[in-house]
Amino acid sequence: MRRIAWVLAVIMSVTLIMTGCGKKDSASVVKDLNDVADKLESKTGAYQGAGTMTLYTGEQPQEYKVEVWYKNPSYYRISLANVQKNITQIVLRNDEGVFVLTPSLGKSFRFQSDWPDNQGQVYLYQTLVKGIVADDNRQFVADKDSYIFDVAANYQSSALVRQKIWLNKKTYEPKEVQVSDSEAKVVVDVKFDKFTFNPEFAADSFDMQKNMASQGASENTVAQVDENGNPLPAAETQEGAQAQASAQLGDFGIIEPGYTPEGVKFKDSNKVEDSDDHAVLLRYDGIYQYTIMESRPLDQAVSLAPGTGVDLGFTLGLLTGDEQQTLTWMSDGLQYRITSANLPLSEMMEIAASMQDQAGK
């Protein structure tokens, strides 16, 4: 009987050991994630992902098709296609700087910034890994196919408090990210349909001109000529057509934000007289004083002063200034600027998000 009991104990011990094999705890997964992050920093580090991002920051949810490309050391290409408006913007970083492109309108904004270094982006793999590794109080569970982490959010908006991250058990590829506010309400949800480590990118994948041309407006099939009947160079033809299209779009009205900080009231709005870009100025007063400038720039390419990149979800903004700060961003061919000496960045970001689903009045 003792021998039988001993044999049973051995069998049970072996069974428990075998059952435990293949199961990972939080610490071992974090160790593996550090190894994956190190590989991304290597000479051949790269990834490519695609999915759907839904923002719940305005009056109505805004859905975007997202494509994310990364190549070491600091090349990024993020395509954000607004499903409702059928407008695509591309955020691009290469050796020349950071660009925000709207190919269909022939518009490009360029600025000098260290984006996305030290600035969290919910659709960037490095940001998700850093969030998991940095939180010593991380919560961890595993289901059949995924490792699920619940960790503190580390984004520019103080309204984003927690994030829940699903990772593929076998490859550690991201499957979904949900970012929540202080009331546990999901504000941002990203679902990845595809994600690949170490893809092969073409040599010009992160070139600005290439990205402008690949998704630009439909080509004009009629040859353009000057006053003497001579064909115009393709570049002049394209720029002239885009400038004419911008002029024809004309007045866009006044776009009012759907959100106003508590303790602030709308003061007045005025159209800037004799402005070719149809500029509009809105003023707000109260606890915070700020202005919103809206315009439709005629220039196809605009270079902005160096500043800090700000992730607005639907696009990348630029924060400039010290005592008086200005947040600038581009959407649907329009340029917006919020300027204030005392309005916090988090409030600027919420105002910007609330203007996405507003039409001109």
Q: Quick one: tokens of 215? A: 């998704």
CB-based contact 351:338 (threshold 8 Å): yes
**166 pLDDT tier (thresholds 50, 70, 90):** very high
pLDDT score at 250: 65
Give the Cα separation of 135 and 154 in Å (integer).
10
CA 271 vs CA 191, 278, 335, 348: distances in Å: 41, 7, 15, 22
The yes-or-no verdict on residue 332 having pLDDT over 60 is yes
Using CB atoms within 10 Å of the CB of residue 43, give its burial: 0 to 12 exposed, 13 to 18 middle, 19+ buried. Answer: exposed
CA 269 vs CA 80, 158, 287, 292, 324: distances in Å: 31, 29, 19, 9, 20
The yes-or-no verdict on residue 9 having pLDDT over 60 is no
Order of all β-strands in the sheet with 75-82? 139-142, 146-152, 162-168, 174-180, 186-197, 46-55, 62-71, 75-82, 87-94, 97-102, 107-111, 301-303
Tens-place pLDDT, residues 18-32: 344 457 899 999 999
Tens-place pLDDT, residues 105-126: 888 989 888 889 877 789 999 9
Question: 114's torsion region: left (phi>0), alpha (psi -120 to 50) or beta?
Answer: alpha
Tens-place pLDDT, residues 192-251: 999 999 999 999 999 999 999 865 433 332 333 343 434 444 444 444 444 444 445 567
* pLDDT, averaged across the chain: 84
The yes-or-no verdict on residue 13 having pLDDT over 70 is no
Q: What is the mean pLDDT of residues 113-141?
A: 91
The yes-or-no verdict on residue 8 having pLDDT over 60 is no
Domains of the chain and CATH, by start: 26-197 (2.50.20.10), 264-357 (3.30.200)
Strands 107-111 and 301-303: parallel
The yes-or-no verdict on residue 164 having pLDDT over 90 is yes
pTM of this prediction?
Answer: 0.81
CA 186 vs CA 60, 283, 354: distances in Å: 14, 31, 16
